[in-house]
Amino acid sequence: MFGFLNIYKPSGITSHDVISILRKITKIKQIGHTGTLDPFAEGVLPVCIGKATRLIEYLDDEKAYIGTIQLGKSTTTYDTEGDIVKTSSKKVNLQDIETVLKNFTGEIEQLPPIYSAIKIKGKKLYEYARAGESVDIQPRKINIKHLDIIRWNPETMQLELYIECSKGTYIRSLANDIGESLEVYGHLIKLVRAKAGCFELKNAIKLENIKTTDDVFANLINPLECLNYPVYYVNNDEYQLIANGNPIKTNCDSKAIILTNSENRIIAVGEIKNNLIKPIKVFI
């Protein structure tokens, strides 16, 4: 079994739980996902089955989310799982929000939340937080392409946003930072990942609908549908060369290329240099 699954991860379980469930169903150990979702979050979780785990690095990594921010309160974790640390009774209007959001689009620097799995000096940030230890967290450059208001409720002070962003963006931090900029504080109360690379919410399969190996097969996605690289179809002679790890000639000027056979099956990922395709990952 070789391919991708577009799984809808429900709220309340971890991304690792999803992998464990699929391993139990398929009896395949070589299963992984392309990006962790917090337990309270839901939505698109791309899953790689079998040798497709070796293709993770070639997948597009831009993400899109629908996040709901509760203004008026901030928490230790920047979401509903933390303790409330700051409150404000100040009211804001839609114009205030639109003005502030302009400061969060494009390339910006963001501080990851202290309750996260990022490692500093071999120790995860949340371990420092739970131990009450201070640690120097450096900001990271991220890119927010779109930050659009879906819904604003001035009565409940809840703001729903559509966010398209680069890999490594923490929507929890974004919620906290927006609240700080509005001077009313804020925390994330709902998060749905709507897109991860080519995997979209509208095509995601609910985990509860995957109960047998046949269900997995029925929803398996050919990696060729998800890899944004040139494709080179090899003939029989070239197939044998690739199978033995030998390069083949080409006129293509791309840096990386996907090699396939007449059955539209990935044979290898190649690297091009000096008009030669050198196989770097072989799937024969």
| Long-range contacts (CB closer than 8 Å, 24 or more residues apart) made by 123-132 | 129/76
Q: Which residues pair with 119 in a beta bridge?
A: 124
| Distance, CA of 241 to chain centre | 36
**Position of tokens 């929803």?**
219
The token pair at 122 is 């071999």
CA distance 114 to 47: 27
Which amino acid, one-letter code, is at 255? K
**Position of tokens 């002070």?**
157
E-strand stretches of the chain: 3-9, 31-33, 42-49, 63-71, 73-75, 84-87, 106-110, 119-120, 123-124, 140-153, 158-165, 186-196, 199-200, 205-206, 231-233, 248-249, 256-260, 266-273, 276-282
**Position of tokens 């395709």?**
277
CA distance 188 to 73: 10
SS3 237: helix
SS3 107: strand
CA distance 5 to 205: 8
Q: Which residues are catalytic?
A: 38
